[in-house]
Amino acid sequence: METILYPPREDWKKLCERSSINLERIEKACREVFDAVEKEGDVAIARYTEMYDGVVIDDFAVSDEEKTACVDKVPEELKRAILTAKSNIEKFHCSQLSVPSPVETSGGVVCRQEIRPIGKVGLYVPGGQAPLFSTVLMLAVPARVAGCGEVVLCTPPMKDGSVNPVVLWTAQQCGVDKIYKVGGTQAIAAMTLGTGTVPAVYKIFGPGNQYVMAAKQLAQRYGVAIDMPAGPSEVLVVADSTARARYVAADMLSQAEHGPDSQSILLTMSETLAREVEKEVERQLDMLPRRDVAAKSLMHSRIVVLDDILQCVDFSNAYAPEHLILSVDNPEEIVGKITDAGSVFMGHYTPESAGDYASGTNHTLPTSAYARSYSGVNMDAFVKKITFQSITREGLEALSQTIMTMAQNECLDAHSRAVSIRLEDNE
Amino acid sequence: METILYPPREDWKKLCERSSINLERIEKACREVFDAVEKEGDVAIARYTEMYDGVVIDDFAVSDEEKTACVDKVPEELKRAILTAKSNIEKFHCSQLSVPSPVETSGGVVCRQEIRPIGKVGLYVPGGQAPLFSTVLMLAVPARVAGCGEVVLCTPPMKDGSVNPVVLWTAQQCGVDKIYKVGGTQAIAAMTLGTGTVPAVYKIFGPGNQYVMAAKQLAQRYGVAIDMPAGPSEVLVVADSTARARYVAADMLSQAEHGPDSQSILLTMSETLAREVEKEVERQLDMLPRRDVAAKSLMHSRIVVLDDILQCVDFSNAYAPEHLILSVDNPEEIVGKITDAGSVFMGHYTPESAGDYASGTNHTLPTSAYARSYSGVNMDAFVKKITFQSITREGLEALSQTIMTMAQNECLDAHSRAVSIRLEDNE
């Protein structure tokens, strides 16, 4: 991990760079899968599952027996933890569902927004070594709070053809009952196009490897919406002299263990802290089971020492981090200056892992500086806001000259006539 | 225009079809423009402007002289109309900017959302025969209400190298001062990549022809967000026996005049009304300056007679119209059943053109059934919602077992340690 002292502003752009991923080269492979799924449906899904997951699956739908059997396979302590997290996530996401009051924009003209859930959503939960049941919570809870009618979940089967029991149990706790043992590109293709078994959806959510990311991009071309583009996970810590090096190092390592592409950045105005964190990272790294992954990630992580806290905030805004930890004495003092970030963790006792699992905020967040234009997953992602308007005859009369003048100047005469024809009648 | 009587439900899917647009075939042309703009910047922009707009432009930035000169070229009546519309659009969009209160999800754990404007946005305003100054209002007003720092507007130059004065005047009224005479694919490429003259932005908004649409899709691959995918405009009218055929026909024609690809659908349970509307459409069509365009659009428009109002709502939801007009006696009675639509116009005196111009709602709406998963442009489109959380030592202690159990079960040990290391100290 490199430490850079007082870099001039013109170097910041370079210091904000992420490892870039070129999805185009794998797009062709994704297209083949989509084409095959479009033509052959479940037959293609079965073929790719055998090819990529190394297992022959007869029925992709998780059976009622499997749904029941998972209950005994999840330790009670983990069940309690998941239900506590679920409750917090529900509380925070429920609070986001407010509709503004109707507005009478001019006499007799009333406009309002109403919220409607997206009818069919697809959730993708990656497999691999670690079962990401927390992702189930982060996607299924808001989908259910929103009231989405059909919630479909795809996750890759394990070598024995089963689905991880914790993922299965968590999904059921969240009210998701359509669960399919399909992973990777073929899962995204199935939820985009629909097969005999897997239903097509209107929007697809969830993380995944580069193939899943490329497949989600491709899904958009078929008219299916996605939560957001994705890249490797990242954290930026802003720390002042009140920060404790051990905590900061632990936060950077909890990011680094995600994957070799992950990035951890520390910004501080304390050279002392910078040196202490360097040492602490080395020390704590040795204790981690995933130290090989973390060590690779640290190779493109960095510590940047800047003049003052305002420079740190400026740098952070330029980086637009997915996770921003404010390990400072008075975080609220700088909150107003933060313009671009996915999720912000304030104070010395607010580690990122709290938000990753259980505090209630969502952990599906914009990476790769997408925080400049995208929000993390929140209730807005599962609903549409439809505008409704109601105009009285008097209201239309009062606004008629405005509408007709504008329409005529845009050479849209029929638009103007739709108003005048209504006012010709004497009622 | 075809009239279909009581089609069985299995035929609905076919009746909901839109004319599809294949953007892939023009994507290659777009890519060439993006590549050229990336390499040559303004030189490439100048070349494409000469090629496609037939005019040589020395400086793409609209000058202060041009900005001042436009004032005298806009009729006073039109100025008044634009300012009235602007005021209504401001009122409705301002009302959408509310932030939910912080939530203490568990003791000592406080989560909240805060809103931040997108720092740099690009607005595209098409040129062509009609100057779309209403599009300027619909995009620039919410951008300014949101507080976006940099608002860039691109619009194609006219043959004499000038920009339409109404577009220019409206942009300035909305506080947009960076205006560039660049159109089509090259405008989207310029705002995506940045050139010596045109700044790069984080999100691009606005309508356009197929080349602009394909270019916006391509912009996403460069990390730039877009408002929504777009297709031909459309209206669906639900009319009961209280509807007046003349008004319904006028509404259908005001959609039809947009372009030959536009689609107008009437759903009604009154065969009498269906026949009357057919006749009225023919009669009113003859009076329109744009009757050739409208006539083409009507060739794939249709009237569908159904059993009752609930069937009409079901059909409408299946179609997911951009604009939905409820020409019925008691529209509020069915509002709750509407699940998928862009913007809804209620009652006999609420023509779509009111919302297109001046009632206050936005006219940038999801077409081609995108209303299933996308909202029309609203304040959410110009901001990010950032989550902030603050946890006390006691709050972390209470939540620690939950976080650590979950982290360990996802094999993310460093995530667990970021919590435990904070609780080791006795303070």
Helices B413-424 and A245-256 pack at an angle, to 10 degrees, of: 170
B415 is catalytic: no
At residue B143 the predicted structure's pLDDT band, cuts being 50, 70 and 90, is: very high
d(CA A122, CA A188): 9
Given A323, A332, A410, A427, which residue is catalytic?
A323
For residue A278, give the nearest of A326, A323, A320, A239 by alpha carbon.
A239
In A, which residues are within 8 Å of B378 by CB distance? 113, 385, 387
d(CA A214, CA A24): 8
Distance from CA of B370 to the nearest CA of A (A): 7
Is B131 touching A (CB cutoff 8 A)? yes
Q: For residue A76, give both structure tokens.
A: 């009670």
Greater confidence (A205 vs B231) lies with A205
CB A135 within 8 A of CB A82: no
Q: pLDDT, tens digit, for every residue of B380-399?
A: 999 999 999 999 999 999 99
- Residues 47-76, chain B, touching A (beta carbon < 8 A): none
Given A322, A332, A333, A363, which residue is catalytic?
A322
Phi/psi at B373 (nearest 5 deg)? -130, -15
CB pair distance less than 8 Å for A387 and B106: no
pLDDT value for B22: 74
Q: What is the ipTM of this complex?
A: 0.96
Q: Determine the average pLDDT of the residues in B179-188.
A: 97
* Beta bridge pairs of residue B37: none
Is B419 touching A (CB cutoff 8 A)? yes
What homologous superfamily does CATH list for A23-108+117-226?
Nitrogenase molybdenum iron protein domain (3.40.50.1980)
CB nearest B389 (choices: A84, A131, A346): A346
Phi/psi at B85 (nearest 5 deg)? -60, -45
CB A219 within 8 A of CB A192: yes
| CA-based nearest residue in chain A for residue B103 | A92
pLDDT value for B99: 83
CB B131 within 8 A of CB B167: yes
Q: Determine the average pLDDT of the residues in B168-196.
A: 97
Give the three-state DSSP class for B3.
strand
d(CA B28, CA B35): 11
Given B93, B258, B323, B363, which residue is catalytic?
B323
pLDDT value for A409: 96
Q: pLDDT, tens digit, for every residue of B324-364?
A: 999 999 999 999 999 999 999 999 999 999 999 999 999 99
Cα A238 to chain centroid distance, Å, stands at: 23
For residue B127, give the nearest of B146, B154, B148, B102 by alpha carbon.
B154
For residue B178, give the nearest of B186, B189, B190 by alpha carbon.
B190
pLDDT value for A387: 98
For residue B357, give the nearest of A344, A396, A383, A253 by alpha carbon.
A396
Distance from CA of A87 to the nearest CA of B (A): 8
Among A282, A317, A405, the residue to mutate for chain B (most B Cβ within 10 A): A405
Please give, one letter per residue, the 3-state secondary structure of A319-358: HCCCEEEEECCCCHHHHCCCCCCCEEEECCCCCHHHHHHC
Q: pLDDT, tens digit, for every residue of A286-307?
A: 999 989 999 999 999 999 999 9
At residue A204 the predicted structure's pLDDT band, cuts being 50, 70 and 90, is: very high
At residue A419 the predicted structure's pLDDT band, cuts being 50, 70 and 90, is: very high
- For residue B76, count CB atoms less than 10 angstroms from its CB and return exposed for 0-12, middle for 13-18, buried for 19 or more: exposed
pLDDT value for B98: 84
pLDDT value for A427: 57
pLDDT value for A24: 76
* Beta bridge pairs of residue A226: A204
Distance from CA of B147 to the nearest CA of A (A): 11
Q: How many pairs of residues across A and B have Cβ atoms under 8 Å apart?
A: 423
CB nearest B373 (choices: A203, A349, A403): A203
Q: Determine the average pLDDT of the residues in A59-79.
A: 96
Distance from CA of A403 to the nearest CA of B (A): 6
d(CA B230, CA B210): 9
Q: Over 60: is that where the pLDDT of B427 sits?
A: no
d(CA B394, CA B255): 61
Q: CB neighbours (10 Å) of residue A72?
A: 8
Check if CATH label 3.60.10.10 holds for domain A232-375. no
Distance from CA of A45 to the nearest CA of B (A): 25
CB pair distance less than 8 Å for A77 and B361: no
In B, which residues are within 8 Å of A85 by CB distance? 402, 406
CB A297 within 8 A of CB B421: no
Q: Over 90: is that where the pLDDT of A114 sits?
A: yes
Which residue's entry shows tokens 């995530």? B415
Question: Where are the CATH 3.40.50.1980 domain residues in chain A?
Answer: 23-108+117-226, 232-375
CB A281 within 8 A of CB A253: yes
CB pair distance less than 8 Å for B116 and A338: yes
Question: What single letter denotes the amino acid at residue B355?
Answer: G
d(CA A42, CA A182): 10
For residue A122, give the nearest of A64, A168, A56, A189 by alpha carbon.
A189
Q: pLDDT, tens digit, for every residue of B209-261?
A: 899 999 999 999 999 999 999 889 999 999 999 999 999 999 999 999 999 99
At residue B130 the predicted structure's pLDDT band, cuts being 50, 70 and 90, is: confident
A415 is catalytic: no
pLDDT value for B88: 98
- Residues 303-342, chain B, touching A (beta carbon < 8 A): 331, 335, 338-342
Q: Output the average pLDDT for chain B.
A: 95
Among A31, A388, A394, A397, the residue to mutate for chain B (most B Cβ within 10 A): A388
CB nearest B384 (choices: A24, A103, A374): A374
Distance from CA of B354 to the nearest CA of A (A): 6
Q: Determine the average pLDDT of the residues in B69-73.
A: 95
pLDDT value for B125: 97
Q: Determine the average pLDDT of the residues in A356-384.
A: 97
CB pair distance less than 8 Å for B387 and A378: yes
pLDDT value for B382: 98
Q: Over 70: is that where the pLDDT of B401 sits?
A: yes
Q: Output the average pLDDT for chain A.
A: 95
Is A127 touching B (CB cutoff 8 A)? no
Greater confidence (B23 vs B106) lies with B106
Q: For residue B38, give both structure tokens.
A: 């990336």
Q: Over 60: is that where the pLDDT of A416 sits?
A: yes
- Residues 206-265, chain B, touching A (beta carbon < 8 A): 217, 220-221, 223-225, 229, 244, 246-247, 250-251, 253-254, 256-258
Q: How far is CA A26 from CA A33, A41, A60, A124, A258, in A?
A: 11, 21, 25, 19, 22
Is B391 touching A (CB cutoff 8 A)? yes
Q: Determine the average pLDDT of the residues in B299-317.
A: 97
In B, which residues are within 8 Å of A238 by CB distance? none
d(CA B258, CA B241): 28
